[in-house]
Structure 1
Amino acid sequence: MAWFARPAARAWTCPPEPAEAQAFHASLPGYATTPLHELASLADELGVGRVFVKDESARLGLPAFKALGASWAVHRALAERAANSGAPSGPVTLVTATDGNHGRAVARFARLLGQRAHVFVSGGVHPAASAAIASEGAEVTQVAGPYDDAVRRAADAAADGPATLLVQDSAWPGYERIPRWIVEGYSTLFTEVDAQLAAAGAGPPDLVAVPVGVGSLAQAAVTHYRSRPAGRPAPSLLSVEPEAAPCVIESLTRGELTGVVTGDTAMAGLNCGTPSSVAWPYLREGIDAAVAVTDAAGARAARALAALGVSSGPCGAAPLAGVRAALTGAGAEDRRAALGLGPASTLVLLSTEGADANPHHQEP
């Protein structure tokens, strides 16, 4: 099992994200807090006190959490463009690359705001996911290569003229402002979790498990939980990624931003070869542990969640696969100690997509 641990991360702190995103999301038609399910049988299985699953299978009319980051970033980018007296008038084409959910979210908000969208879809994405993006009115370009290739194609297309705007959730030197806005948008999810845990009498979590592609959601988790007031316990943060695309584990192990050659995986939304340059400093300092899981483990986790009434695709089920790998089997006692977990601990797993978000065959 690919595993990395650095318990000192819990002592690291950073400034909080701006608070405006949550008020913006609350103003959108169809906004509602997504469910936080307590699953006692998983707590028994994992030998902890309580397990909660944040269910992002229906977020702002879409089957994944990506709507939070895309909506806030598109809002900020278009507002800034409108305020720029030198910007051309008329519709803008929002350009992005995707391995599924982010592209559909950008396309949805482009359509709602009277803009156009051009989405580059990486290889391995199910045709039904591409069709869902096209159903939002977007132009869809299929890219034969991996996600990183699609990102390069999108960036080139967005450079074609003043009527195009790149809205990408991965950052690199020279392109970091919009990815930061996307991360800000994800902060709404964690604010909701805080309130829901308090309502359940659970208090702050002891561990939060986050699925990782380029690391933007994990960056939002680090920012939220590492900006706690002094003296308040900080949870452990566990990143989970597919064995076919372990770019975060590789970067953490080497201590520097590192790209990997990706393989095939049912976890299409996590099939990314290079962490975001904006996310990397937060992941390096604030992630306690990282684990890579197999497609078979992800599929088993998705079936387990479905049996408990939670619709979750392979990416959304990855956190359950990750905590199962970390907390059971040979060496589990040492891994539990590294995460600071005991029999009364509270775990939060982020199920970032519904079963219908990225349809594909799941291995038995």
Structure 2
Amino acid sequence: MPQPRVIQNPLVDRRAVKSLVDESQAFHRSMPGYQPTRITTAPGIAAKLGVRSVHVKDESGRMNMPSFKVLGASWATYRTILRALGLPVDAGIGLPELKRRLATRPGLRLIAATDGNHGRAVARMAALLGIGAHILVPDDMVQPRIDAIVSEGAEIEIVDGGYDDAIQRSADLADENNFVVSDTSWGGYVDPPGWVIDGYSTMINEILQEIESSTVPRPTVVPAQIGVGAFAAAVVRGFAGSEHTRLIGVEPTDADCMAASIEAGEVVTIPGPQRSIMAGLNCGTPSMIAWPDVSRGFDAFVTVTDSAAEEAVRLLYADGVFSGESGAAGLAGLLEHAAALGLGTEDDILLISTEGPTNVPAFNRITGAQLTEQGQK
């Protein structure tokens, strides 16, 4: 098992990072169940890290789904369908009208590869639009995450291998009736992943609005889970202009494709499949569309063990935040490397818990809680 490590980023140049967009926010406000998610204090974690304060953006209940992913998936789906119908983004067409127009084209499907949350969000969008969804998952996905996707009405295909293999299979299915909505990019496929990043800006803007209103202190440190880099790119765009905020990218020790790419100075693919319990981060290749901002915006990258992720889940739970292993990875990075990162009593930490307990049996084992599969106490 690879050892946890810290990589100072020699490529950092925040002036090169794109600006945060806000065009998705009005769209999200029109969606069923939208409201800003809470930011809560975490005094137990602050004491554990020896810092002045810790605040947590809790994405365990975003629009009746257990993850922030619906923000990116919904906006990318909307833009993809508008393009397929030859409609401009400023046409002012909402979901009900889009559903009506799609009813005249039977047989349409949304396609997505996923480690869990993105695929479920794409399936939810397909259901809202009255079209099919075909979701491809790696062969080690746990049953509760598969069941959650199926509950949205999607068809599941289990792919031999890991996330990268599922991505390749999804790309092979694309045609005039099958629209791929992916959060990672590859040669010739860049627009939907870019829209996914833009969709996440709604969450970042919610955070920035609370900071500007002084409800939350301007953070000195923001750790961000990496995966393929879409979420991390949105974080960078939100905080690249904050001179006194350090950005720390976090990956599992055996799914460190971004750290390996930083060390190589270019996008590389690491051997797979990746099998961390941080399932949403089990990616072997960074997104090409996210790479420019992530590689220029983060001050350092750290890798973390599964045991550190479990400890992070427990600490968040003790402070009232129900988080899955991937959602807790940012905190795991600080726990594993607090000394090397020089955390101290002048630091105000912002954590983004990107998911709730999407694997309830694992969450109960880690925390001693007694949640049901529906997430109720």
Same fold (TM over 0.5): yes
What is the letter of the counterpart of residue 178 of structure 2? T
Per-residue CA deviations over 1:234-285 (Å, capped at 9, x if unaligned) read 5211111111211111111111111112332111111010000111111211
Is this contact kept in 1: 2:225–2:329, CA < 8 A? yes
Q: CA deviation at 1:166?
A: 0.6
Aligned twin of 2:278: 267
SS at structure 2 position matched to 1:361: helix
Aligned twin of 1:155: 171
What is the letter of the counterpart of residue 206 of structure 2? E
Whole-angstrom distance in 1 between the partners of 2:239 and 2:150:
36
Per-residue CA deviations over 1:55-77 (Å, capped at 9, x if unaligned) read 10001111001000001011111
Whole-angstrom distance in 1 between the partners of 2:74 and 2:20:
16
SS at structure 1 position matched to 2:277: coil
SS at structure 2 position matched to 1:274: coil
Whole-angstrom distance in 2 between the partners of 1:7 and 1:51:
28
Whole-angstrom distance in 2 between the partners of 1:211 and 1:32:
23
Aligned twin of 1:233: 243
- The structure 2 residue matched to 1:32, chosen from 27, 32, 35, is 35
Aligned twin of 1:345: 347
Identity among equivalent pairs (%): 41
Return closer, same or farther for 1:151/1:135 CA change in 2, 3 Å cut-off. Answer: same
Aligned twin of 2:74: 71
- The structure 1 residue matched to 2:9, chosen from 6, 10, 28, is 6
Aligned twin of 2:318: 307
SS at structure 1 position matched to 2:78: helix
Is this contact kept in 1: 2:17–2:296, CA < 8 A? no
SS at structure 1 position matched to 2:40: strand
Q: CA deviation at 1:11?
A: 4.5
**Divergent runs of 4+, >6 A:** none
Is this contact kept in 1: 2:229–2:287, CA < 8 A? yes
Per-residue CA deviations over 1:100-144 (Å, capped at 9, x if unaligned) read 000000000110111110000112211111111111111100112
Return closer, same or farther for 1:248/1:141 CA change in 2, 3 Å cut-off. Answer: same
Unmatched 5+ stretches in structure 1: none
Q: CA deviation at 1:12?
A: 3.0
Q: CA deviation at 1:175?
A: 0.4
Within a 5 Å distance, the mapping from 1:43-122 to structure 2 comes to: 43-83=46-86, 89-122=105-138
Whole-angstrom distance in 2 between the partners of 1:144 and 1:15:
36
- The structure 1 residue matched to 2:149, chosen from 129, 133, 137, is 133
Unmatched 5+ stretches in structure 2: 89-101, 367-377
Is this contact kept in 2: 1:10–1:234, CA < 8 A? no
SS at structure 2 position matched to 1:259: coil
Per-residue CA deviations over 1:269-304 (Å, capped at 9, x if unaligned) read 110100001111112111111111111110111011
Return closer, same or farther for 1:22/1:152 CA change in 2, 3 Å cut-off. Answer: same
Is this contact kept in 1: 2:42–2:316, CA < 8 A? no
Q: CA deviation at 1:199?
A: 4.2
Residue 293 (1) aligns with residue 314 (2) = no
What is the letter of the counterpart of residue 361 of structure 1? A
Is this contact kept in 2: 1:48–1:343, CA < 8 A? yes
The 10-residue stretch of structure 1 (8-17 or 237-246) with the greater mean CA deviation from structure 2: 8-17
Is this contact kept in 2: 1:268–1:358, CA < 8 A? no
What is the letter of the counterpart of residue 354 of structure 1? G
Q: CA RMSD in A?
A: 2.1
Aligned twin of 1:245: 255
Q: CA deviation at 1:342?
A: 4.5
Per-residue CA deviations over 1:184-237 (Å, capped at 9, x if unaligned) read 0001111111122344544422111111111100011112222x3xxx525211
Within a 5 Å distance, the mapping from 1:158-197 to structure 2 comes to: 158=174, 161-197=175-211
TM-score by length of 1: 0.90
What is the letter of the counterpart of residue 124 of structure 1? D
Return closer, same or farther for 1:30/1:202 CA change in 2, 3 Å cut-off. Answer: closer
Return closer, same or farther for 1:125/1:360 CA change in 2, 3 Å cut-off. Answer: farther
Aligned twin of 1:19: 22
Q: CA deviation at 1:13?
A: 4.1
Q: CA deviation at 1:9?
A: 2.9
Whole-angstrom distance in 2 between the partners of 1:8 and 1:253:
9
SS at structure 2 position matched to 1:238: strand
The 10-residue stretch of structure 1 (310-319 or 189-198) with the greater mean CA deviation from structure 2: 189-198
Q: CA deviation at 1:17?
A: 3.1
